[in-house]
Amino acid sequence: MRLDKLLAHMDYGSRKEVKELIRKGYVLVNGNVIKDDDFKVDEFNDEINILDSEIKYEEFIYIMLNKPEGYVSATYDYSKPIVLDLIDDYKKRNLFPVGRLDIDTHGLLLITNDGNLAHRMLSPKSHVDKKYYLKYDGKYNESFIQKFKDGITLDDGYKCMPAEFIDLGDNEAYIIIREGKFHQVKRMMEAVGCNVTFLKRISFGNLVLDESLKEGKWRHLTNEEIESLK
């Protein structure tokens, strides 16, 4: 890859700005100052430094976001803020959210540029568990547990796969589902006569929301977390 392209790709500046860094002699490849912006580097094996800091090229980026309400889980929206607006550092890395949370849903959202991983995690055949914490209006009934296990039928006649309802008392619960139909949790609760008033995803497959991440904040996944998704 061209040196200027790599640096711009890694968000060290616009193409013009990184060319300037290179011309000023701030960029070293394998210990040698390179002033030629179309110099070709092996992004996986060459040691690249800007002054004293080493640049690590990673093809794929994996981010955990604690989504606040008010953000659309998409890469573009004509009127509302999108979840990628919360992650400024990687504008040019083609990031996208893996699946969707409703605009008013909070919690764990995986953001990446790894299309294969996203495809695997979202494939209906993969049956990846998603755990939600919710508050709801309506009257709890012990029969919810069996109804969720048997498969709730939604308003459009679709029968959901077996799911888990875990009562927490005081109109709070966890629900674990293995599919991702439109507004699924809210519609499942409607099917048992309740109305979700707060919804937060706390896990997605093996990935668990880091509760130390404040709403609207994100961090890179650890290597262990990345491995656990693969």
Applying CB under 6 A, the residues found at the interface with ligand URA are 101-102, 105, 183-186, 199
Nearer to ligand URA by Cβ, of 95 and 108: the residue is 108
Minimum distance, C-beta of residue 111 to ligand URA, in the bound complex (Å): 15
Tokens of 199: 């919804």
**Integer-rounded Cα radius of gyration of the chain:** 22
Least separation in angstroms between CB 30 and ligand URA: 48
Closest CB to ligand URA among 184 and 203?
184
Q: What's the closest the beta carbon of residue 227 comes to ligand URA, in angstroms?
A: 26
Closest by alpha carbon to 175, among 205, 145, 195, 197? 145
User: 3-state secondary structure string, 150-214?
Assistant: HCCECCCCCECCCCEEEEEECCEEEEEECCCCCCHHHHHHHHCCCEEEEEEEEEECCEECCCCCC
CB of 99 to ligand URA, least distance (A): 9
Which CB sits closer to ligand URA, 13 or 138? 138
Nearer to ligand URA, 9 or 200 (CB): 200
Tokens of 38: 């179309």
> Cα separation of 79 and 84, whole Å?
14
Catalytic residue among 102, 104, 167, 210: 102
Q: How many degrees, rounded to 5, is the angle at CA 15 between CA 9 and CA 16?
A: 155
- Note if 129 is an active site residue: no
- Catalytic residues, which ones? 102
